[in-house]
Structure 1
Amino acid sequence: MTADAPADNPYVADPPTEFEPVADLNLDTAREQAEQLRDAIRYHDHRYYVENDPVIGDRTYDTLFARLQDLEDTFDLDRENSPTQRVGGEPLDELESVEHVAPMQSIDQGGEKGEVQEFDDRVARGLADAGFDPDERTYFCEPKFDGLSVEVVYEDGIYQRAATRGDGEVGEDVTENVRTIPSVPERLRGDYPDTLAVRGEVFMPTEDFQAYNRERIERGDDPFANPRNAAAGTLRQLDPSVTAERPLAIFFFGVLDASVEFATNSEVYERLPEWGLRVTDLAEKADSIDAAIDYRDRLLAERDDLPFEIDGVVFKLDDRAACEALGSTARAPRWAFAYKFPARSERTTVRDVVVQVGRTGRLTPVALMDPVEVGGVTVSRASLHNPAEIERLGVGVGDEVRVKRAGDVIPEVAEVIEAASKGTVDFPESCPVCDSPVERDGPLAFCTGGLACPAQLERAIVHYASRDGLDIEGLGEERIQQLLDAGLVEELADLYELGQLDLTSLEGWGMQSVANLQDELAASTEPPVDDFLAALNIPSVGGATATALARKFETFEAVMNADREHLQAVDDIGPNVADDIREFFESERNYEAIERLLEHVDPQPYEVEGGDELDGLTFVFTGSLEDYTRSEAQEIVETHGGSATSSVSGNTDYLVVGENPGQRKRDDAEDNDVPIIDEGEFESELEARDVLE
């Protein structure tokens, strides 16, 4: 499910990249802008790291991030929970979470030579302060691969597990998927260390990516935007056999933890291949920052001829003892810097402009163009983003335009080079799919059809049947598309009117699968009211907000009829969220669709389950439990009146430790005299308090 964008936030869609000087701001204005930037960056982090569907380019993101850092530094703003204090991203719900053996930090980055020289100056000062000779500093240079970063762990030379970077502390367990990558050895070679945790970058080679995308288009699937998205989507497949069919590769480039020592980062590149771990042959040492910059310029010139995508280079101080002395900020090491490449761009001619209706109802104009090579990829369509962008560019059919891949991700029209049209494209006033009125929201345009718009229906049904909705097994995206293509479902209520003959006439549907689906649908007709609210995919209403609404109003009818004032009385619901809820229910088409749905579904009033057996107790979990997922264990605690938090503090009562636990939480527990218990002791505590029988 796509993350909902923060409402009324100027830094979400087509954000500005030029700001008034920080010195001209007062404290209140700075605080307000910083909060908007934090919300927007969290949203962009989620789109990039979790959904692999960014809405802005890398350089634009870097500009927003730098502005936030500048505001925080200048006005000494509170940085607690700010994106500048952590690595972006969070694990997906569908995959188990796993703690890294050591933090997988991000890297400070920039696209200007002056920023690189400033980095070198900071390194020199830091080395001098730490007692090192700054004149002896050398750098190890390597390509910045445009893929997905993973942690791979070996014990006694045997492959144990793999995890995505996630939020830097906790990632998604992709052990079986990474195991399918041919360049990941099951067993290390040579004189390997007893324990080894390495960092690598999973990617899809360019030629393989082009062939795979061609196959997707030929079978009617949407192509991936770039090799990084293809690699990330493949690695997060729940079925490892799907991953095994796709052409993934990996380069290893760092050691997170090992039972051996390395004197330099260049030595890491020498030792890893000895153990059977693949590294790139493009890395090299540089005896000065100028030599490192020359390395970057050479790779930039060779970029289009490489068999994989890179979006910059990384400079690391080579001496690992010096690296340790410099240390890290909360987000990134002080001894490394990524020098980013500029975005690619090219010329072509606009032949037509069509308006697509997205699954959220947003209308996006798309320019159809003469095919052109942009960064090694043939581009024949590019986003115009929104009606305001059409007006800003002054673009029309027949114009010669410059196309770029912003951040090497999204093809977009950057400017009109030579106008051949007599005006800009007329933007429709009604939805091209359902003919509902189009509503403008600042620079954006949305279809007001809601649940009744066919373009939004697939997304509505997918979410309704997902784990975040009513968890209807047997109703995945492929089968939903079948139902839509066959004309059997035109709104949510039609799901409950599907007959056996309707379904058995479709390819791949047998009597048993039909019976199973009908049983699942029947079981979903009396859902808890909070599950039903979450299933409707109301803008800004996720699972937690749905539960808060249910707890406050108890019945679905009460929520549907609540005014803005009463909605804002609910915890964590502000005026913007209240407006989103009211607008959803006040839409005539949504109202009609919900009324039909309520003919089949009877949401049950909210009831508090569980008890207060764990009232006043706070638990923290680390590692993998045998009998529960971490979320299941946390739910048990919270259902029975306790608290389950993500970090250890003096208020924590127990740290529950499973397999492969994180060292930081155990250290924090010891520092705060927090009892450390295993899964068996946790269950004994639950039994003693009558939580478990």
Structure 2
Amino acid sequence: MNNDIKNRITSLTQELNQHNHSYYVLNKPTISDYAYDALMHELMKLEKEHPEFKDPDSPTQRVGSDLSNDFEQITHQYPMLSLGNTYSEGEIADFYQRVSRAIGDNIEYVCELKYDGTSISLTYENGRLKHAVTRGDGEKGDDVTANVKTIKSIPLHLKGDYPANFEIRGEIFMPLAEFIKTNQLRVAEGEAPFANARNAAAGSLKMKKSAEMAKRRLDCFLYYLLGPDLPGNLHSQNLEQARSWGFKIPEHYKICTSLPEIYTFINHWDKERHKLPFEIDGIVIKVNNIHLQNELGYTAKTPRWAISYKFKAEEARTQLLSVDYQVGRSGRITPVANLEPVQLAGTTVKRASLHNADIIAQLDLHENDWVYVEKGGEIIPKITRVEVSARHPMSAPVQFISHCPQCNTPLIRPEGEAAHLCPNDKACPPQLKGKIEHFVSRKALDIDSFGEQVVDLLFEKGLVKDVSDIYDLSYDKLIGINRVSDDEENKRLFSFKEKSTQNLLDGIAQSKNAPYANVLFGLGIKHVGATVAKTLTKEFNTIDKLSQAKLEQLTTLDDIGPKVAQSVIDYFADTDHRALVERLKAAGLNFKSEAPTQSSEKFKDQSFVISGTFSAFSRDELKKIIERNGGKNISGVSTKTSYLVAGENTGPAKLAKAEKLKVKIISESDFIELLER
């Protein structure tokens, strides 16, 4: 009897999984809704009566759970970087030429639609979905596996000949028909409608109860494969293989070998996009060859082998009411236009950035002008032009301010820069608060419960004037203090109660375990981003060594130019900065990292460029061997390069440059011989 039940559960599971694939991935239903529901109800009943036979990837998981999800964070095995955006054919041509200069001509590109949803990374082990993670900050994201399992176009179990471990990335989106239906339902229930389908998808994915998310019929296209054992060396080939495993891979992509072909694809979908049952906001262009992608590599934020073209944004006409001036963490003054509210791309726009004094002058902006606004990249509103014919004849030009709106210090404009700055970095309130907000942010000290509102409150009460004061906070100082938010539309009281007080203190205590690179980034040294901080802490494994570094020592490091180097030197030349570091040391923060284990000094004072693919080692393994033997890895061939280690598919541009500069080019076997001498 039990065997019969087990076999029936297995049969129903397989049948329903096949129907789901036919309906949601292939768009070819093979059964009526009524018959499908009958099979589903039978399976649910059997699983409830005999849970011991339930498959962990049963199609009944698609309905979700009524239990609340607390999203934990997972570190991405491969960073989820954003793509660089372009808005003109000229910028596409620049990208095309950069790639050609780096790796040669006759390159294949894959042009794809840019889906307007929310990014997701899916990890599969032995054919089963292990976890689904949002982009987050690119290094780690939220584990939304329970919610993603309710999306029926995402397979829980694969078919065919798939790798044992891999990651596949894509975009979760809400189809337009479902978006309309969802908003109609929200309005009927007295809730505010979603502004656009992208917001609807992102909001749904973070719902606390997966059963509620399951009611919103989200969909997902997958478009990039990652892992140590990919089926092929072409991105397009990997897409088709992934399709055979059961993934919903987009149909609308094209392999192009020339700029005119890329332009044709862009222009076609700029016209045809409105006929699609989902929203797109541009085109993505990727180098097809995976080896060449690795050769081109990455910047700190974006891959060099891919770029996105954004379609022209929607535009709206409205009237300028006034101009405010915001002060940033670095003292940068940003003018912001206050506008008569206007609908644009599904949202109400009230403010728009004017960037700097030059932009105001170029627009010839006058008081009360009628202006046209668009969303730059469809995210940040900006004024693009003025309707001069509608201007009042007595209207005065908008004059950029001469003094800081917060501390009244005369502004400066450094030579060669577009922005005006407030130089009062040690007393201007927005700059002081901005430094604290940066210090506690996720990529720096990542202090839980320390948001902008808390910074405002503690600064206002005089409890935190600089970042070292954070470590003097105590339960008695915090409990009971409160403030009302300045948000005119949503005034609310924030108060430190027992739980919020303890949460903040726990977060502060935990921050003392943050890596040295995070602490250095948190100091907010000009031009020292998260990637540069990692480079500096790798070379100077204590803050004392870094504070004494000379210009020539700093500029020999990969990705550290004279501007960054001088900024580091200037920071530590300031007695207040040195005193701040000492207070943070006394508080117990981590200002050192373990020096890399060195097995020899065989490669001392030698620098290597690794290019191409290898049989005995991976690129990362080669780099570690070089470092363990006292050598240095650099990204580009220059007069400072000792060796170019050239594997298969080494970029022709690197080879040519090495030959021109008479840099020694060695193979993998040459490198091994060099190592064993």
Residue aligned with 2:87, SS: helix
| Counterpart for residue 34 of structure 1 | none
Residue 539 of structure 1 deviates from its aligned partner by 0.6
Residue among 453, 458, 466 paired with 1:483? 458
Residue 501 of structure 1 deviates from its aligned partner by 2.4
Shift of the 453–593 alpha-carbon distance from structure 1 to 2, 3 Å rule, reads: farther
| Counterpart for residue 540 of structure 1 | 527
Residue 394 of structure 1 deviates from its aligned partner by 0.7
Residue among 168, 171, 180 paired with 1:202? 171
Unaligned runs of 5+ in 1: 1-48, 86-118, 127-138, 216-223, 318-322, 621-630, 653-667, 676-693
| Counterpart for residue 66 of structure 1 | 93
Residue 253 of structure 1 deviates from its aligned partner by 4.6
Question: Is 1:431–2:416 an aligned residue pair?
Answer: no
8 Å CA contact 1:159–1:186 kept in 2: the answer is no
Matched ranges for 1:30-45 at <5 A: none
8 Å CA contact 2:129–2:157 kept in 1: the answer is no
Residue 500 of structure 1 deviates from its aligned partner by 3.2
Q: Percent identity?
A: 28
Residue 548 of structure 1 deviates from its aligned partner by 8.5
Amino acid of the residue matched to residue 86 of structure 2?
Answer: D
TM norm structure 1: 0.52
Matched ranges for 1:485-564 at <5 A: 488-506=463-481, 507=495, 509-510=497-498, 514=502, 517=505, 534-541=521-528, 542-544=532-534, 547=537, 554=544
Residue aligned with 1:180, SS: helix
Q: Deviations over 1:192-228 (max 9, x none)?
A: 544486754324549899999xx9xxxxxxxx99987
| Counterpart for residue 624 of structure 1 | none
| Counterpart for residue 380 of structure 1 | 350
Residue 185 of structure 1 deviates from its aligned partner by 6.5
Q: Deviations over 1:86-127 (max 9, x none)?
A: xxxxxxxxxxxxxxxxxxxxxxxxxxxxxxxxx9xx89xx9x
8 Å CA contact 1:394–1:423 kept in 2: the answer is no
Question: Is 1:365–2:335 an aligned residue pair?
Answer: yes
C-alpha distance in structure 2 between counterparts of 1:547 and 1:265, whole Å: 39
| Counterpart for residue 104 of structure 1 | none
Shift of the 448–671 alpha-carbon distance from structure 1 to 2, 3 Å rule, reads: same
Shift of the 189–425 alpha-carbon distance from structure 1 to 2, 3 Å rule, reads: same
Shift of the 151–365 alpha-carbon distance from structure 1 to 2, 3 Å rule, reads: same
C-alpha distance in structure 2 between counterparts of 1:345 and 1:512, whole Å: 43
Residue 360 of structure 1 deviates from its aligned partner by 3.1
Matched ranges for 1:214-229 at <5 A: none
Matched ranges for 1:133-212 at <5 A: 143-147=113-117, 152-160=122-130, 176-177=143-144, 180-181=147-148, 182-183=150-151, 187-188=155-156, 192-195=160-163, 199-205=168-174
Q: Deviations over 1:529-577 (max 9, x none)?
A: 9987654212124535764997799489x75xx9xxx545544465433
8 Å CA contact 1:226–1:409 kept in 2: the answer is no
8 Å CA contact 1:386–1:444 kept in 2: the answer is yes
Residue 586 of structure 1 deviates from its aligned partner by 8.0
Shift of the 59–154 alpha-carbon distance from structure 1 to 2, 3 Å rule, reads: same
Amino acid of the residue matched to residue 87 of structure 2?
Answer: R
Q: Deviations over 1:478-513 (max 9, x none)?
A: 644553465532333543543532212154553895
Q: Deviations over 1:151-197 (max 9, x none)?
A: 5454554114567899xxxx857583356323267754685544486
| Counterpart for residue 368 of structure 2 | 398
Q: Deviations over 1:211-254 (max 9, x none)?
A: 99xx9xxxxxxxx999879989999x9x9999x98987522356
Amino acid of the residue matched to residue 536 of structure 1?
Answer: L
Shift of the 240–511 alpha-carbon distance from structure 1 to 2, 3 Å rule, reads: closer
Residue 393 of structure 1 deviates from its aligned partner by 1.2
Question: Is 1:348–2:318 an aligned residue pair?
Answer: yes
Residue 369 of structure 1 deviates from its aligned partner by 1.8
Shift of the 252–496 alpha-carbon distance from structure 1 to 2, 3 Å rule, reads: closer
- Greater radius of gyration (CA): 2
Q: Deviations over 1:248-289 (max 9, x none)?
A: 75223567799999x9979978994x9764456878999xx9
| Counterpart for residue 414 of structure 1 | 384
RMSD, aligned CA: 6.6
8 Å CA contact 1:147–1:201 kept in 2: the answer is no
Amino acid of the residue matched to residue 395 of structure 1?
Answer: L
| Counterpart for residue 21 of structure 2 | none
| Counterpart for residue 251 of structure 1 | 221
Residue aligned with 1:443, SS: coil
| Counterpart for residue 443 of structure 1 | 418
C-alpha distance in structure 1 between counterparts of 2:632 and 2:197, whole Å: 38
TM norm structure 2: 0.53
8 Å CA contact 1:470–1:532 kept in 2: the answer is yes
- Corresponding residue pairs, total: 504
8 Å CA contact 1:57–1:408 kept in 2: the answer is no
C-alpha distance in structure 2 between counterparts of 1:530 and 1:177, whole Å: 28
C-alpha distance in structure 2 between counterparts of 1:445 and 1:369, whole Å: 23
Shift of the 386–173 alpha-carbon distance from structure 1 to 2, 3 Å rule, reads: closer
Shift of the 371–158 alpha-carbon distance from structure 1 to 2, 3 Å rule, reads: same
C-alpha distance in structure 2 between counterparts of 1:469 and 1:175, whole Å: 18
Shift of the 352–465 alpha-carbon distance from structure 1 to 2, 3 Å rule, reads: closer
8 Å CA contact 1:452–1:491 kept in 2: the answer is no
Unaligned runs of 5+ in 2: 1-78, 187-193, 298-302, 482-494, 610-619, 636-641, 646-665
Amino acid of the residue matched to residue 429 of structure 1?
Answer: S
Matched ranges for 1:42-61 at <5 A: 58-59=86-87
C-alpha distance in structure 2 between counterparts of 1:439 and 1:491, whole Å: 24
Residue aligned with 2:421, SS: strand
Amino acid of the residue matched to residue 523 of structure 2?
Answer: L
Amino acid of the residue matched to residue 457 of structure 1?
Answer: L
8 Å CA contact 1:395–1:416 kept in 2: the answer is yes
C-alpha distance in structure 2 between counterparts of 1:494 and 1:534, whole Å: 18
C-alpha distance in structure 2 between counterparts of 1:398 and 1:462, whole Å: 35
Residue aligned with 1:483, SS: helix
| Counterpart for residue 485 of structure 2 | none
C-alpha distance in structure 1 between counterparts of 2:519 and 2:344, whole Å: 45
Residue aligned with 1:495, SS: helix
C-alpha distance in structure 2 between counterparts of 1:147 and 1:70, whole Å: 30
C-alpha distance in structure 2 between counterparts of 1:516 and 1:377, whole Å: 34
Residue aligned with 1:440, SS: coil
8 Å CA contact 1:470–1:531 kept in 2: the answer is yes
